[in-house]
Structure 1
Amino acid sequence: MTPEPSTGPSNGASKGHSAELSTSGLRVQFATRGGRVARALDGADLVLRAGEVVALVGESGSGKTTLARSLVGLTAPAAGEIRWEGKALERSGRGLKRLRRQVQLVLQDPSGALNPRHTVYESVAEGLRIHKLVSGSGRTEAELVAQALSSAGLRPPEALFLRYPHELSGGQRQRVLIAGALAVSPKLLIADEPVSSLDASIRGEILALLLKLREELGLGVLVVTHDLGLAWNIADRIAVMYLGRIVETGPTEEVLTSPQHPYTQALLSVIPEVERLEPVVLTGEIPDPTRIPPGCRFHPRCPALASGEASGVADACRGTALPILSGDPGGHRCSCHLVSSREVVSS
């Protein structure tokens, strides 16, 4: 049976802030030991708004985590722009500190992200102390920590104050990380593979929590994941990433019920619940980011090209670069020569 797609933001969107975080032509590169340059991001456009859940999907090595870290200023771009609430992001100083309070990153591995020597209380209170949020709030630090733990579904919160990470379950550790983010009253959350290390029985609880936070607090959430099935059940919009660029984006229901890009089709075909698509096994691995293929970067693995379906545009696939896909939230868009040729014929 096909999973039920998310129906989009409802009341949460109207309760939230007018916050918007966006990138334009973002490029991040790293020098390798061999003297070559790896283009981890090669022109990524994305928009995240308060009150919505966006899933950033792709295989390992596609650039998802690099994009997530860039959005909170942890990875410096070589080119392009990040804008927060309509203004270009400052690389340092007050602007960056303000962004890091209002846009919180929840890391993938709670066991590694939590200091084993810090109690739950200390872990959640850390952000409050860094941003000096207790003074003038009219509440004590302990009250703010308790409120954050309760919002993350850890009740009674006081019972966890003096416990250490090794005394918690995996789901509890993930909730502590989320509580630490919530303590500073952010507008957006960026969750990097938030359930990949959890048992299946716990994953649904954490995803339900993220949706609850969107509804109750109006938070925007960017979920970084390799799992299209997860994205189907939680996201309002989806951005599919391959080798440093977004290749397809749009409303979840449109993208996953009518995938256009051969890469999206292949990812979707291996979800067990999707019975209408024949499984597509992609050959090879994502190419070395120091040697991005000419033309369409997906062409060496493209099933449509290998089968002859894209024979009419084969030369373009192998030699003509595609433009960067706009991050504008409106509409269903795809970066593919074959799709573009069909659109021209149909028009």
Structure 2
Amino acid sequence: MSGERVEPQGVGGAVGEAGLLSARGLRVSFPGRRGAPAARAVDGVDLDVGAGEIVALVGESGCGKTTLARSLLGLVRPTAGTVSFAGTPLSYTGRDLKAYRRRVQLVLQDPSGSLNPRHTVYDAVAEGLRIHGYGGSAGDERAAVAEALSRAGLRPPERFFLRYPHELSGGQRQRVVIAGALVLEPELIVADEPVASLDASVRGEILALLLRLRDELGLSALVVTHDLGLAWNIADRVAVMYLGRIVETGPVETVLTAPRHPYTKALLSVLPEAGGEPVVLSGEPPDPGRIPVGCRFHVRCQVLASGGAGGLAEACRTVDLPVLGGGAGAGAACHLIGEGV
């Protein structure tokens, strides 16, 4: 990977420590159309985000990472499994869910779509306070909005109060979205492709902001992205997702400099700094309603296709792999691990 990576300075808990947000055996299925099998968008996931930790969830479009994130947020009820926050199982109904959503906030990839064009910046940021029944005075609300904008890098905040989204740059709009999350003083944010819609010159500023918020506030984050370069620059740990399941996980330096799963190797091979020939995977990811028997990646695996699996080829095609643990350890769900592949 290019560029010198700054070592994270986790606060509010040991980096990699489980216990803030945890998913165990999580499954989310959607009914198939016209009698087709149910689509298993999330098909058995264990995942932890520790206090003061940034975890990157990476994978191709359609692999299930956004559905997983929405389930962790309480926006989609899982078919099976549990989500816990600070050791308490998540309730998907009523007052408990509303309280949870104050502690865990979503930051979307498209700030233009996230902001109401008819609302001023002040109203956009204050909206969360009003939804959650903020009991302070008008002066307290104003102070909270100003502090959130300032933390998001919009200073002096009062200068932005009466502006509308169309009067702001893309980076400023994304900062307003982040301020709207910060105003509720969450413990964790889920950022879905937080810089995908921004110019390259602005992306680094937003990533630096997220790191600063972690260091100053102890804020944890789950960053959903297809961009392994982004994961390298911001994450403590990375979880690689394919066809509804985590197939490799571990500290970001371990996974991105010494990947073990063929899928992770293929994703990394197309980066400009990778060197060598990129790995071109055959075909598209299988239908999540018809997940292959055995290793779910075997139908596209470049090692199996080249004959490199040797005597394990039959296991790749027929033997399922266990769900990886969600904690701080490194692991890869592949029959070929240890075979020199």
TM-score bracket, shorter-length normalisation: over 0.9
Aligned partners of 1:5 and 1:252 also within 8 Å? no
Residue equivalent to 1:337: 335
1:82 maps to 2:83: yes
> In structure 1, what residue type is equivalent to 2:224?
V
> In structure 2, what residue type is equivalent to 1:285?
E
Q: CA separation of 1:178/1:31 partners in 2, compared to 1, >3 Å: closer, same or farther?
A: same
1:144 maps to 2:144: yes
Q: 1:297, CA displacement in angstroms?
A: 0.6
Aligned partners of 2:104 and 2:186 also within 8 Å? yes
TM-score of the superposition, structure 2-length normalised?
0.95
Residue equivalent to 1:224: 224
User: Structure 1 runs of 4+ off > 6 angstroms?
Assistant: none
Residue equivalent to 1:323: 322
Q: 1:298, CA displacement in angstroms?
A: 0.5
- Structure 2: give runs of 5+ residues left out of the alignment: none
- Structure 1: give runs of 5+ residues left out of the alignment: none
> In structure 1, what residue type is equivalent to 2:44?
G
1:61-87 deviation line (CA, Å, top 9, x unaligned): 011111111111001100011011111
Instruction: Spell out the pairing of 1:126-275 with structure 2 (5 A cutoff).
Output: 126-135=127-136, 140-275=140-275
Q: 1:340, CA displacement in angstroms?
A: 5.5
Residue equivalent to 2:54: 53
Whole-angstrom CA distance in 2 between matches of 1:41 and 1:302:
21
Aligned partners of 2:146 and 2:157 also within 8 Å? yes
Q: CA separation of 1:152/1:18 partners in 2, compared to 1, >3 Å: closer, same or farther?
A: farther
Q: 1:19, CA displacement in angstroms?
A: 6.1
Aligned partners of 1:310 and 1:338 also within 8 Å? yes
> In structure 1, what residue type is equivalent to 2:189?
L
Q: State, as a whole percentage, how many aligned pairs show the same letter.
A: 65
Q: 1:182, CA displacement in angstroms?
A: 0.1
Residue equivalent to 1:105: 106
1:216-266 deviation line (CA, Å, top 9, x unaligned): 000001110001011011110000000000000000111111100000001
Whole-angstrom CA distance in 2 between matches of 1:233 and 1:255:
13
Whole-angstrom CA distance in 2 between matches of 1:320 and 1:327:
22
Residue equivalent to 2:44: 43
1:300-331 deviation line (CA, Å, top 9, x unaligned): 110010111112211111111111111012x2
1:254-290 deviation line (CA, Å, top 9, x unaligned): 1111100000001011111223x54211121111111
Aligned partners of 2:25 and 2:81 also within 8 Å? yes
Aligned partners of 1:6 and 1:232 also within 8 Å? no
Whole-angstrom CA distance in 2 between matches of 1:111 and 1:263:
33
Aligned partners of 2:14 and 2:51 also within 8 Å? no
Aligned partner of residue 315 in structure 1, secondary structure: helix
Q: 1:18, CA displacement in angstroms?
A: 9.2
> In structure 1, what residue type is equivalent to 2:180?
G
1:155-189 deviation line (CA, Å, top 9, x unaligned): 11111111111111111111111000000000001
Greater Cα offset, 32-41 or 57-66: 32-41
Aligned partners of 2:10 and 2:214 also within 8 Å? no
Whole-angstrom CA distance in 2 between matches of 1:9 and 1:298:
35
Q: 1:34, CA displacement in angstroms?
A: 2.4
For this pair of structures, how many residues does the alignment match?
Answer: 339
Aligned partners of 1:133 and 1:184 also within 8 Å? no
Aligned partners of 1:243 and 1:287 also within 8 Å? yes
Aligned partner of residue 34 in structure 2, secondary structure: coil
Aligned partner of residue 67 in structure 1, secondary structure: helix
Q: 1:14, CA displacement in angstroms?
A: 7.0
Greater Cα offset, 258-267 or 106-115: 106-115
Q: CA separation of 1:255/1:77 partners in 2, compared to 1, >3 Å: closer, same or farther?
A: same
Residue equivalent to 1:297: 296
Aligned partners of 2:21 and 2:84 also within 8 Å? yes
Q: 1:118, CA displacement in angstroms?
A: 1.1
Greater Cα offset, 73-82 or 85-94: 85-94
Q: 1:342, CA displacement in angstroms?
A: 5.8
TM-score of the superposition, structure 1-length normalised?
0.93
Residue equivalent to 1:34: 34
Q: CA separation of 1:33/1:233 partners in 2, compared to 1, >3 Å: closer, same or farther?
A: same
Aligned partner of residue 41 in structure 1, secondary structure: strand
Q: CA separation of 1:87/1:253 partners in 2, compared to 1, >3 Å: closer, same or farther?
A: same
